[in-house]
Each structure stands twice: as C-alpha cells, then as structure tokens.
Amino acid sequence: MCPPEHFRVTYAINPWMDPATPVDLPLAVKQWQALRDRYRALGHTVDELDPHPDLPDLVYAANGATVIDGRVLGARFAHPERRPEAALHREWHLRSSGAAAPVYFREPEHVNEGEGDFAVTAGFLLAGRGFRSSPLSHAEAQEFFARPVIGLDLVDPRFYHLDTALCVLDDSRDDAVMYYPEAFSPGSRTVLARLFPDAVLAEEADALALGLNAVSDGHHVLLPREAAGLVAPLRERGYDPVPVELGELLKGGGSVKCCTGELRS
C-alpha cells in the first residue's frame, strides 16, 4: 500500500475523476490508515511504498505490478500521468519486498495496469481489456505466469479496470467470485457465467459504490461501506464482510482493492 500524503485529483483519466472536486486530504489519510490498520488487525502484513509528490495516483498500489508465486510482472501504464509509477514499484519489488526468496521481475512489453486488470483465481488469470491494459499483455502474462488467461472485455467506462467490476473471493475455489455483469460485453458475460455459475452477481447500485473493488482473504471481504447490498449474499456464502470508509479515495476512481497490491509470494 502507498500512503495518500500526496493524493489529489488534478487530472481526469476516468469518469470518476473531476479536478473541480476538492479532496479532504486529512480525511483521505485517516480513511487509508484505517484500511491499513484493519488488514493488520486481521493478521495480514502490510508493507508501504513511499509516496511521491508528483504522483497523486500512486496511492492506488494495485496498479503497480502483478505477483504470483514470487514472479512479478511489472506495470506499464496507459496514461502519461501515471507512467513514472511503474519504476517506483519495480524498485520496491527488487529492493525491499519482504519476500523470503528473491523475486523474478519481468519488465513488461505491453501496457498492463497490474491488478487493476489482472485477477487471480484458482485456475485462471482473469484479464480485463477495453480501457487500459492492452490485449497483447494477456499473452505476455500467460507466458510469464504459465496460467491460462481468460480475456474479458470491459464496455462501461465507469468500470474501466477489471477490479472495478469483478472481485475474486477465494482463489482456492474457482467459482468464488463476485461481479457486475453489465460491465462486460455480452460474450464476456457468457464466459463468466460458464466459468463461475455460482458467482455473486452485483446490482448496479453496489457496483456504482465500487463494491466490487474489494479485497478478500478467503474469509474476510473488505469492501466500501456504501455497497450494502453485497453484505447479505456474502454472508450467505459464509464470508465475513468488513465494510470500510474510503469516500475520499473514491474521488480518484478507486476503493479498497485499488489501494491494495497483493503479494502472492
């Protein structure tokens, strides 16, 4: 995670961002710290990346890399505003990652925005395309991770990253995902229905609260408080939903998952 000390909305690269909207920075910092502390209270280790004064979106740490079994695929950002973030993540992974074994880092050839568009399930690497990550990054990721990649077409600009429209609830069971069907093309919707017949399907209101931008450890599901409609279906499936306040970070178009890069090492 990267503290939001320098978070602000000064450019707009997704429909959630409006540079005219003021950000309450002390509140953003408080909300972010509460999320970090919640992870720690649940027994997870949280490492911090140093914030950078010129990179307000660095707080969305999920976009910096994809890590599976100690193999790290670096990011290459679609927009020039975020491009310099990739090197900071690379340095972190090469220098200070808490991993016991040395990491194997790949400098990406094609545009991919890390876990914004890559999601790991038990059997697959789900990969979003349409707004940010290049479809060419899918083949690159498949070759690097040696996991079958399922390409999914995003069609609604409000759900510009896969992680705004789909969340993996348990990466040891292949049917354990939740998603918002309308964010996907008709063909991709059918693919998702085939692969995940028991998925939790989100309603529009919960998707618009960025309720799918959640992080699950297989039991606790941390999600934005406003996505209240997801609480009951998650409980029915045996998960423990943990609502969190991240209203200030929503102004940049992100919530829990965007703020969290997962180290599967």
Contact residues for ligand ARG, defined by CB under 6 A: 13-14, 17, 57, 60, 62-63, 82, 116, 161, 163-164, 252-254, 257-258
Secondary structure percentages of the chain, helix, strand, coil, to 5: 30, 20, 50
Q: Which is nearer to ligand ARG, 62 or 231 (CB)?
A: 62
Q: Which is nearer to ligand ARG, 90 or 132 (CB)?
A: 132
Which of 2, 167, 258, 259 is the catalytic position? 258
Rounded CA gap, 28 and 4, in Å? Answer: 7
Which of 138, 161, 220, 259 is the catalytic position? 161
**Beta partners for residue 46, in sequence order:** none
For the bound state, the minimum distance from the C-beta of residue 194 to ligand ARG, rounded and expressed in Å, comes to 25
For the bound state, the minimum distance from the C-beta of residue 166 to ligand ARG, rounded and expressed in Å, comes to 11
For the bound state, the minimum distance from the C-beta of residue 217 to ligand ARG, rounded and expressed in Å, comes to 18
Q: Which is nearer to ligand ARG, 39 or 60 (CB)?
A: 60
Whether 161 is catalytic:
yes
Torsion sign over Cα 79, 84, 90, 96: negative
Smallest Cα–Cα separation from 98: which of 172, 217, 1, 219? 1
Torsion sign over Cα 66, 261, 28, 86: negative
H helices present in the chain, as ranges: 25-41, 85-95, 136-145, 186-195, 204-208, 231-236, 247-250
As a whole number of Å, the CA-based R_g of the chain is 17
Whether 219 is catalytic:
no
Q: Which is nearer to ligand ARG, 14 or 134 (CB)?
A: 14
For the bound state, the minimum distance from the C-beta of residue 231 to ligand ARG, rounded and expressed in Å, comes to 22
Residue with CB nearest ligand ARG? 258
Residues with catalytic function: 161, 258
